[in-house]
Homo-oligomer: A and B are copies of this chain.
């Protein structure tokens, strides 16, 4: 099985981390191909970045498709970022976004879950994404840890901020935590050990859900919302 995972921003080092996390999570026999969009924001923190990122990732998917690359499924590694439904229209294979993926598994593990993310300004994006994915009902809170995406490199500081936010989430009734940023991959077990609750990493969850769809022969429905795009002129870049 060949699985494409796309970063939502242009920071290559983050793509490498996502790739590493995806490989750790993948089943034997799954080939992970990680790609970085050629344009867009260096990190996605807000709606402006998210919409740029969505188009840049879709442009990347189009380019790969036109270059004859084939994948059994695609994972979109941008937590709360837009683009998911467009990728479903564009491609014939299952598309799983790390936001929804983490939420789906979280629902299986406890009665209520919370998302701990980077900056408060991205909370709305994540809430909207969970809502449209149909998994918002059991989410009690989306909480910012007060860290920018590109500050996540300092693992000690990141872990400390996530623990603080995680404790607030527990006070709000969360029985499971979701790490709300692709760049937090790897911290899940540490936070889980300290707080005594399951912590779900979106990249890992999405890889497994994408594999599950492929293994069961399930793909994106073409009946309705995600029918193949209508043929028309689309200028993918300025002329």
Give A contacts to B, CB under 8 Å.
10, 25, 27, 38-43, 45-52, 54-56, 58-59, 82-83, 85-86, 88-90, 94-96, 100, 104-105, 107-112, 120-121, 123-124, 128, 131-138, 148, 150, 170, 173, 175-176, 189, 195-198, 200-201, 204-205, 208-209, 211-213, 215-227, 229-230, 232-239
For residue A227, which residues in chain B have a CB less than 8 angstroms away from its CB? 46, 121
**Contact indicator A96/B110 (Cβ below 8 Å):** no
The 14 sampled A-B contact pairs (Cβ below 8 Å) are A10-B233, A42-B233, A46-B86, A49-B234, A50-B86, A51-B82, A52-B86, A124-B225, A137-B137, A176-B221, A200-B216, A205-B216, A208-B211, A208-B215
Chain B: CB-nearest residue to A200: B218
Known A-B contacts A47-B86, A135-B107, A212-B205; A196 and B173 likewise in contact (beta carbons under 8 Å):
no
Contact: B51 with A83, CB < 8 Å?
Answer: yes
Closest to A95 in B: B108
Q: Which of B27, B42, B225 contacts A234 (CB 8 A)?
A: B42
Quick one: closest B residue to A53, CB to CB? Answer: B55
In the complex the two chains form, is B230's CB within 8 Å of A45's CB? yes
Chain B residues positioned under 8 Å from A134 (CB to CB): 107, 135, 137-138
The reply to whether A198 and B218 contact each other, CB–CB distance below 8 Å, is yes
Q: How far is the CA of A123 from the CA of B227 in the complex (A)?
A: 13
Q: Looking across the interface, which residue of chain B has its beta carbon closest to that of A176? A: B221
A120 near B56 with CB under 8 A, answer no
Expressed in whole angstroms, the minimum distance between the Cβ of A69 and any Cβ of chain B is 17
